[in-house]
Amino acid sequence: MGVEKVGFVGFRSADLQALREVFEKGLEMVPTDASSDQVGYLLSDGTRLEAYDHANAFHSFFTTGPVVGFSVPHFERSWERLTRIGVEQLTDIQSEDGRRWVHFRLPDGTVAELIGS
C-alpha cells in the first residue's frame, strides 16, 4: 500500500467565518493558527487541515473542493452539533459494522462527510 493516510486537506471558501463555525463549533476543532484570510488546524492523527478565504491570493489555485470525511469518536454528539448550526444534510445516515456516516454541505457548497460510531 502506497498511501498511509490523508496528511493534508485544504479548503478555499467564499465564507471563511461560516466554515470556521462548522469546524470549531460543530466539529470541535481548535485552530492552531489563523489570520484574516486563513485558518489552520492539526487533527489528533497529525493531519493538517487548512481553510483559506477567497482573498488569500497564494491559494487561488484551490478551485475545486474535496469531499472530506471527518472521523469523530461520537457520531451522535457531532451530528447534533452540526444540525444545530444548520448544515444541509445530503444523505440519510448510513451504517455498517458499527460505523455511521452522513454527507452534508459546508457553507460554501462543498460536500463533506461525518464518520463515526
Residue 64 neighbours by CB under 8 Å, 6+ apart: none
Model confidence band, residue 84 (pLDDT cutoffs 50, 70, 90): very high
The pLDDT of residue 26 is: 97
Q: Is residue 94 predicted with pLDDT exceeding 60?
A: yes
Cell of 75: 457520531
Q: For 22-68, what is each residue's pLDDT tens digit?
A: 999 999 999 999 999 999 999 999 999 999 999 999 998 888 778 89
DSSP state, residue 26: I
- To the question of pTM greater than 0.85 for the whole model, the response is no
Q: Please report which confidence band the pLDDT of residue 7 belongs to, taking 50, 70 and 90 as the band edges.
A: confident
Q: What is the dihedral of CA 102, 2, 31, 72, to 10 degrees?
A: 30
Separation CA 113–CA 67 (nearest Å)? 7
**pLDDT at 1 exceeding the cut of 70:** no
Q: Assign residue 86 a region: left if phi > 0, alpha if psi is -120 to 50, beta otherwise?
A: left
Residue 2, pLDDT score: 61
Q: In this structure, are residues 93 and 101 in contact, taking their beta carbons and an 8 Å threshold? A: yes
CB 79 within 8 A of CB 114: yes
Strand spans (E) along 77-117: 88-89, 94-96, 99-105, 111-116
